[in-house]
Amino acid sequence: MNSAEITQTDKDLIWHPFTPLVNPFGHIPIKSAKGAKLFTHEGQTIIDAVSSWWVNIHGHANEQIADAIHKQALELEHVIFAGFTHEPAVRLAKNLMTILPDNYSKIFFSDNGSTSIEVALKMAFQYWYNQGKEHKTKIIALDGAYHGDTFGSMSVSERSGFTRPFFPFLFDIESLDFPTEENFDKVLAHFDELTNDEACAAFIFEPLVQGAGGMRMYSPEMLQQLISLAQSRGVICIADEVMTGWGRTGTTFACDQIEASPDITCISKGITGGALPLGITACNSKIEAAFQSEELSKALLHGHSYTGNPMICAAANASFEIFESPECKNNIQRVHNKHLKFVEQLKTFDKVENIRLQGTIVAFDLKGFGETGYDSDARKKIYPYFLERGVLIRPLGNVIYLLPPYVITDDELDLVYETLLEFLRNE
C-alpha cells in the first residue's frame, strides 16, 4: 500500500494516543526510517529530534538490532514465562546486573514503562504486606511527576488534564514540591515530616529530570539528600529511569550521579534501542528477601502474556552491546558538547528563559507562549512550524526540548539548531 492508497477514511480507523479524534494536525504516513531520519511516502525527510517519544537511542532501522530479532524469531519467538525461561532473558538479566547497583539481585520483566511502574508499586506494597506491616500504604511523589497511564502509575503522577477523568479511581498519595535551589530547605523539611510517618511505604521519583512535566531538572545533591533521608527510615525508594536511563542524562542511569542507590529501578524506552516494547523492574536484595517463600500468597502475582518475550530480549541484548561500545559513549558526549555550544546561542535571545541541559537533553522556555502542558495553545504554532521544515519537535506547552538519537550527525544537529534559531529570530 502506498501513500495514495491510504485514504482519510483508512486513517480514521485508528485511534491515536494523546490525540483528539478531531485532529488539527493530521497523521503523516511514514514509509521508512534510517538513523535519525524519517521518510514519508511523499518523499519528505524529517529529522527525529525527540527519538520517537524518547525511545530511539541508536537510530531507526538499526541493522544489528534487526538481525538479532530476525535470528531469534526463527529459533524461538515466544514461550510462556511462568515455568519456563530462555537464554535471551537470562543474558539480558546478566547484562543489566553489570550496570545496576551492586546490591541488586532480581529482574522482573513487563511490557512498557507504565507497567514497570505498576510492578514497582506492587513490589513496594507487598514488601510491607509480606512482613505483616499492612499499614504501610502511603506513597510520596514529586509535584509535576508523570509516571505513566495505567491506574497505579496515574495515581503516583500529578493530578492533571492527563488524569482528570479518572480522579475518582486513583489512590491518594503525598505530594512533595518539586525541589529547586530556592525552596529546597522547605522541601527537605516537608520530606522529613512525611517520611517520619509510620504509614510511609515508598518514595517514587524521576531522577534529575521530569520528562512530561516540562523537562524540569534538579540537582544530584538534592536527590542524594532525599534518598538518604528516606532510606534512613526504611522508606523504599523507587527510581523511574524510564526516560532518564540509557545515557540520556550523561550517565547510564541518572542515579549513577549520586552515592545512594534506589531500592527499585524502573527501566524501559531505550532498553531495546527503540525497536520493541519492554519494561524492566529491578530490585535489590532487601526487596527480594521479603518474597523468598514457597507460599503462593507471598509471590509477586503479576504477569503478562508476552512477559519475557525472546525476540524483545534479543533486541535488548543487541541494544546493550551497542550502548556499551566506545562509539556510543563518544556519540553521547559529542551530542552533549554540541548542545553546550547551542546553549550559548540560546542565551542571546530575550524571549528564551530557563535554559537547561542534562546529558543529551536540552530544553528552554519560551516567553509569551503560555504555560507548560500538552494542551497549551503553543503547540498549535510550534509543532507544525518545525514539521513543515523537516524537524520533529513535540513541545511541552511553552517548553521546547531536544532529545535526539545518539547517532544523529553533526550536520543533522546543526540543521535542527538553525531551524530553532530561525524560529526564534522570526518571533
Residue positions in the annotated binding site for pyridoxal 5'-phosphate?
113-114, 240, 304-305
Task: Extract the runs of DSSP E, i.e. beta strands, from 187-318.
Answer: 200-205, 209-210, 216-217, 236-240, 264-267, 279-284
Question: The cell 531505550 sits on which residue?
Answer: 270
DSSP string, 140-158: EEETT----SSHHHHHTSP
Nearest to 115 by CA among 145, 146, 148: 148
Q: How many angstroms separate the CA atoms of 39 and 390, rounded?
A: 10
420: closest CA among 404, 405, 406, 407?
Answer: 404
- Per the annotation, binding residues are 53, 113-114, 146, 240, 269, 303-305, 394
Torsion of CA 252, 285, 315, 81, to 10 degrees: -160
Q: Which of 21, 25, 27 is nearest to 8 (CA)?
A: 27
DSSP string, 108-152: EEESSHHHHHHHHHHHHHHHHHTTT-TT--EEEEETT----SSHH
- Residue numbers belonging to the annotated binding site for substrate: 53, 146, 269, 303, 394
Question: H or E element: which one contains 328?
Answer: helix 326-346
**Which cell numbers hold the place of 271?**
532498553
Cell numbers for 133, please give them: 506491616
| Nearest-angstrom CA–CA distance, 141 and 175 | 5
Report the DSSP beta bridge partners of residue 283: 106, 264
For residues 112-126, one letter each, b for 16 or more C-beta atoms within 10 angstroms of the residue's C-beta and e for the rest, the string is bbbbbbbbbbbbbbb
